[in-house]
Structure 1
């Protein structure tokens, strides 16, 4: 028995020692937490219960050149209620007036709000939702309501704000105005257009607000004021003109619909400055509607076709290897190089015609012969001209995704015997529509090549922060002699060449048609081939103010009218005509000093009557009504008119004495 008691005592001592050691360990741990790691744990606790939240800055607005709003940030507000914040007597005093006030703004009754507010207080709800997606006006109203006007701590109002980006003109030019956002699927920043390119100006600087974690994982502001106030972004003034943009968008849309085309683009640029006044990029959806998809004008690099022949003509004239009058034989519309045929679109060719006429008619055989015959022994000289025009490199626009040009060079990979003749007719090269337009714009701008611009300045209210001046890419693309001849030929393309359907005696245009057969994407097989139709030029032809390019991909070929003049040309004409007729500065009034005898006689008779000292009421019969009114009012008489035209009858007969302020009735024919 004594032995057993001894074993029990031993186990008790062992347990006691263990408990003692555990107690020491706990004391050591608590001491360590309190004194050694105390700061770390206090900081961690604060991080989990108190946190700085970002207050996004309002983005700056994007405006058009004429002051229209293209993109703006609209704040949306969410109002919540901390039901435990107000004292009981304060809550009871103001709950009814608050409910009445909320009913005037929100679409619910006063009794509903009173019941909900009381229920929230009974349930200790510290984050009760009052309303969301409020406008700034409604937010300010609610903020001033009874109880809420006492602030977050005394009144319990909790304000959440988010910013929504809106485009007031809708989908028009959406890809150019663009966006800058985080892709929710990948978390990667994505952006397009002006919104992305100028985000450093538009975004501003975010602010901070300190919030404390409350029940149910919700956060409540600790103070009524922000830790750091957000700084709004600057405004961006674009070069887009909403009026011209609307014209271009709908002109392109109509043609795409008429031809059931796959996609297309149009750009209108101010000749002297390079300011892009309109840009539209429309692609076909599955339901056959069209919307802004890819920025084709900037991103899509492809073979340009006959619009590239301007390069041929400029190089030939600049090197003086041939003149516009030199005659070439079209050889029945077919010439061969290295076993490959170059064909004219006109069956049988054009016979023997001059170089200028070959350009006007877009003859492949003539233009290819002119280039090949003069540069076959030194193709580098021809390609160097292309490079001098800047067509071998990007324009360096602010936007992401600018299409890369491709110009083969002799001796490098991709060059072959047929490269030179194929380049002469716009194949085996790749440029974007914007690059092509920039070259034609240089011709219109007296040889000065300017960089296309989409933004003119950055502003903070009325203060200019940064101004984007005209950027010259090449001060002289060719000699004045070459320029004069090229401009004459481009004008003749519209007057009597492939663009003759577009000619109008009322306003002048110059440009070049283009039709290229494409195998887009490199797909094999004849079914993959399709046409791209284009027209590029400027207007008015004599004193160019605007240049413009239109490209339409994969028009319906059922009617066999897929040529540039038929598909793209009418869009160009519609834009030019609308701008021309609505811009008085482009109209010239002639013979201002021309006198119309009938008007002169009427004016002289009226002058005699006015200057004559009347002893009585004048005889007004046969006088135009407006002249009679002016005459009688000068005699201090009141006039009542019946009808329109000339005076047929007057209520006071001629010769009667004039009594001031008397009313005379005139009956007009």
Structure 2
């Protein structure tokens, strides 16, 4: 019996020691958690229940050169309700007036909202959805409703904001204004436009707001104020002119549709400044429609064909190895180099003609002979001219995805015996339409080559942050003597050359046609197609604008794919529409002269108009851009949703205008 008692005592001691050790371990662990690792666990707990969320800054607007809105950020708001936040007395006191207010703005019965809000409170719903996609004006109204005006903690209102980018003029120039796109074939990001290139100015700085986790992965703001307020981005003033852009876009679109072409581009540039006034890039979709896809004018480098012959003429005249009057035999329209034939588009050739006439008629045989005969012993000299013209390197535009030119050089792997003659009529080389335009623009600009420019200014409201001045790439692309001859020949191309169908005695234009066979590899299918182009400037005597049009893969079943017939009419329509439709400007002398009768009449009107209160006008049916201009002149801030004409306005017609008030327009 004593032995059994002794064994029991040992067991009790053993258990006691074990419990004591466990207690010590627990105390040690708790001490470690509390004091040694306490900061870590407190930080971890806070991260899981309280977190900083980013408040995206509003992007700056993008404006056209004439002040039209091209891209803007529209804030959308989502309102939710934390039904557990309000005290019972406040909830019961304000539920009916809150429901009445919600019923008015969202067009539902007050009883519906009373039932929904009570159900949310009974279910302890801390994230009940009130409304989505509210405009700023509606958000402010809802925030001021009974109960909600007590704030997040007392009133239970939860506000979520997102920013949506809108293009008020629709798809026109959307590719240049900017959006993100991955080329489906190459997987490469293709030129993102102004939005991407100037994002450091447009994006602003994001803010922060502290939120607490409530339930089911939902978060609500801890306080009404932000931890860090977002700073809006600057506005970007582009060089685009909406009037010219509209003309260029629709002229190109019509021609693509008429010729069932695969894609095309058009660019209009102001001669002296290099400002791009219009750019359109349209590609055919599977349903036969055309839309802005790839920035072909900037990104697509390909063999230009006959528009490259200006390089031949300018190099030859600069080196004085031949003159415009030098005669060449077109050899029946066929001439061979290393067993490969160079042919004229005109069967039988043109007989014996001058170099100038060969250029005007775009004779391949004449231009190739002129280059090959004079540079075959020193092809590097000819290639160096191309480099001096700046055609061997990208223009250095702000846009991502600018196409890279290809200019063979003696000694390169791609150089061969036919490289020189083939380069003479625009093959074995590759340049972008924008490069070709910059080169021709230098002829129009008295020999000064300027960099194409898409943005003129960065602004914060009316304050200029940065100006972009005209950049000169080459101050003298050739001698004045060469320039004079080249301009005369380019004028004759339209008067009596391949582009004679474009000639108008009342409106002189100058330029060069081009028709090239282009290799393509689309969706794994290789082949050849025609690319028709025209590049030049207008008016020919005093150039104001230069322009290039390129149409890829016109339907050859129509038996017409030449640059003069496919691309030329687009150029002509743009040139003539700009100068016939644009409002005329008359110079008025003695602007400082005051007429007493007019001054008295104006002062009387000014006094009378100031007596009357300013009222909100009825804007329904008015074009969006006109409405914006009218409202801003009245001192109002304007927010726009959609494109087209005004169908709804947040401030009703006849209301008095409050200082710094904001009006929201919904466009059809």
Shorter-chain TM-score range: 0.7 to 0.9
> What does 1:378-457 align with in structure 2 at a 5 Å threshold?
378-457=378-457
* Bigger Rg, which one: 1
Q: Give the conservation status (yes or no) of the 8 Å contact 1:580–1:587.
A: no
Could you tell me how far 1:509 is from its partner in structure 2?
Answer: 0.7
Tell me the TM-score normalized by structure 1.
0.85
Could you tell me how far 1:585 is from its partner in structure 2?
Answer: 5.4
> What does 1:30-429 align with in structure 2 at a 5 Å threshold?
30-179=30-179, 192-429=192-429
1:497/1:581 CA distance change after superposition, 3 Å: same
Query: For residue 612 of structure 1, what is the aligned residue in structure 2?
Result: none
Could you tell me how far 1:148 is from its partner in structure 2?
Answer: 1.1
Query: For residue 553 of structure 1, what is the aligned residue in structure 2?
Result: 552
Instruction: Measure, in 1, the Cα distance between the counterparts of 2:586 and 2:319.
Output: 38
Could you tell me how far 1:518 is from its partner in structure 2?
Answer: 1.6
Q: Give the conservation status (yes or no) of the 8 Å contact 1:440–1:536.
A: yes
Could you tell me how far 1:180 is from its partner in structure 2?
Answer: 5.3
Could you tell me how far 1:513 is from its partner in structure 2?
Answer: 0.3
Q: Deviations over 1:589-625 (max 9, x none)?
A: xxxxxxxxxxxxxxxxxxxxxxxxxxxxxxxxxxxxx
Q: Give the conservation status (yes or no) of the 8 Å contact 1:180–1:199.
A: no
Could you tell me how far 1:414 is from its partner in structure 2?
Answer: 1.3
Say if 2:573 is the partner of 1:574: yes
Could you tell me how far 1:107 is from its partner in structure 2?
Answer: 2.8
Query: For residue 472 of structure 2, what is the aligned residue in structure 1?
Result: 472
1:355/1:546 CA distance change after superposition, 3 Å: same
RMSD: 2.0
Query: For residue 653 of structure 1, what is the aligned residue in structure 2?
Result: none
Could you tell me how far 1:501 is from its partner in structure 2?
Answer: 0.9
Could you tell me how far 1:507 is from its partner in structure 2?
Answer: 1.0
1:86/1:522 CA distance change after superposition, 3 Å: closer
Tell me the TM-score normalized by structure 2.
0.85
Could you tell me how far 1:191 is from its partner in structure 2?
Answer: 7.1
Could you tell me how far 1:263 is from its partner in structure 2?
Answer: 0.8
Instruction: Measure, in 2, the Cα distance between the counterparts of 1:522 and 1:219.
Output: 48
Instruction: Measure, in 2, the Cα distance between the counterparts of 1:556 and 1:124.
Output: 66
Instruction: Measure, in 1, the Cα distance between the counterparts of 2:523 and 2:29.
Output: 73
> What does 1:586-665 align with in structure 2 at a 5 Å threshold?
none
Segments of 4+ moved more than 6 angstroms: 188-191, 522-525
1:29/1:152 CA distance change after superposition, 3 Å: same
Could you tell me how far 1:128 is from its partner in structure 2?
Answer: 1.3
Q: Give the conservation status (yes or no) of the 8 Å contact 1:512–1:537.
A: yes
Could you tell me how far 1:425 is from its partner in structure 2?
Answer: 0.3
Could you tell me how far 1:77 is from its partner in structure 2?
Answer: 0.4
Q: Give the conservation status (yes or no) of the 8 Å contact 2:456–2:468.
A: yes
Q: Deviations over 1:462-500 (max 9, x none)?
A: 011000000000000011111111111101101110001
1:181/1:42 CA distance change after superposition, 3 Å: farther
Query: For residue 632 of structure 1, what is the aligned residue in structure 2?
Result: none
Find the residue that maps to 1:529 and give its secondary structure.
strand
Instruction: Measure, in 2, the Cα distance between the counterparts of 1:190 and 1:248.
Output: 22
Return 5+ residue gaps in structure 1 as ranges. Answer: 589-669
Could you tell me how far 1:61 is from its partner in structure 2?
Answer: 0.4
Q: Give the conservation status (yes or no) of the 8 Å contact 2:301–2:432.
A: yes
Instruction: Measure, in 1, the Cα distance between the counterparts of 2:404 and 2:586.
Output: 40
Moved more, 347-356 or 157-166: 157-166
Could you tell me how far 1:272 is from its partner in structure 2?
Answer: 0.6
Query: For residue 613 of structure 1, what is the aligned residue in structure 2?
Result: none
Q: Give the conservation status (yes or no) of the 8 Å contact 1:327–1:352.
A: yes
Instruction: Measure, in 1, the Cα distance between the counterparts of 2:81 and 2:25.
Output: 47
Find the residue that maps to 1:15 and give its secondary structure.
helix
1:481/1:200 CA distance change after superposition, 3 Å: same
Q: Deviations over 1:614-663 (max 9, x none)?
A: xxxxxxxxxxxxxxxxxxxxxxxxxxxxxxxxxxxxxxxxxxxxxxxxxx
Find the residue that maps to 1:98 and give its secondary structure.
helix
Could you tell me how far 1:173 is from its partner in structure 2?
Answer: 1.1
The structure with higher relative contact order (CA 8 Å, sep 6+) is 2
1:319/1:240 CA distance change after superposition, 3 Å: same
Query: For residue 611 of structure 1, what is the aligned residue in structure 2?
Result: none
Instruction: Measure, in 1, the Cα distance between the counterparts of 2:332 and 2:8.
Output: 124
Query: For residue 529 of structure 1, what is the aligned residue in structure 2?
Result: 528
Q: Deviations over 1:253-277 (max 9, x none)?
A: 1111111111111101110110001
Could you tell me how far 1:510 is from its partner in structure 2?
Answer: 0.5
1:523/1:113 CA distance change after superposition, 3 Å: closer
Could you tell me how far 1:150 is from its partner in structure 2?
Answer: 1.5
1:585/1:372 CA distance change after superposition, 3 Å: farther
1:248/1:330 CA distance change after superposition, 3 Å: same
Return 5+ residue gaps in structure 2 as ranges. Answer: 588-668
Q: Deviations over 1:435-454 (max 9, x none)?
A: 00000000000100000000
